[in-house]
Amino acid sequence: MKLIVQLIFLLCSFSCFSQVEWNEERKSAVMEGVIQVDKVSKQELYERSRIWMATNVTSGNNQTTNERDTITQLIGSGSLIFESSGPKGSKTLNFNIKIYFKDGRLKYLIQNLVLITYPGQINSNNSNMGPTYQDLNLLYEKRFNKKQDKKNFQLLVDEKLTSLVESLKNAVSKTSKSESEGW
């Protein structure tokens, strides 16, 4: 029953947002989409997204923002944890996100997906092995070329990134307290 509920949630999530797909033109695995926020200016969308990015996307000091005279985009780097530390170790998904702004909508682009696996235990020589890095572009390109369905791990990546995009949508869709109270 729990599995059925998770599958329903997963399918509903994917119907609302894009999934990570291989983009042949960019030669990269990307997740992109547009979030419509009626009656909100480009400046306000930028401000809401900047606050969201500062709290949800930063990985250490890797966040960068592009602030020019015209507010057109935000660029950041982030990490999502897949498994908690323990005997098997942990996995983290690193990614880059770009958000482009127009009045009433924004476009997000998530790319440069890298899986970092941290070993959980010290090996038999009592030395701690360092993390391993896996560029996920090869995984998505292979699935695209062979026209295969996504595997469990790719579905998990979709689920985590969909959740991240859902939090962005919620953050930019909410009106601020001052707007709602007429200040």
- Residue 5 domain-assigned (yes or no): no
Burial of 142 (0-12, 13-18, 19+ CB in 10 A): exposed
58 domain-assigned: yes
Domain count, the chain: 1
Q: Which element (helix H / strand E) includes 160?
A: helix 152-173
- Residues 50 and 172: their CA atoms lie apart, in Å, by 10
CA distance 160 to 7: 14
Query: pLDDT tens digit string along 166-181?
Result: 999 999 998 654 444 4
- Over residues 144-164, the pLDDT tens digits come to 888 887 778 888 899 999 999
- Is residue 1 included in any domain, yes or no? no
pLDDT-above-70 percentage for the chain: 70
Examine residue 94 and state whether it is found in any structural domain, yes or no.
yes
The answer as to whether 119 is a domain residue is: yes
Which of 175, 180, 181, 182 is closest to 47 using CA atoms? 175
Whether 175 is in a domain gets the answer no
Q: What pTM does this model have?
A: 0.75
Report if residue 12 sits inside a domain: no
Q: What is the pLDDT of residue 54?
A: 87
For residue 33, the domain's CATH number is 3.30.530
pLDDT for residue 16: 47
Determine the structural domain holding residue 43 and report its residue range: 19-170
Low-confidence winner among 21-25, 39-43, 148-152, 156-160 (lowest mean pLDDT): 148-152
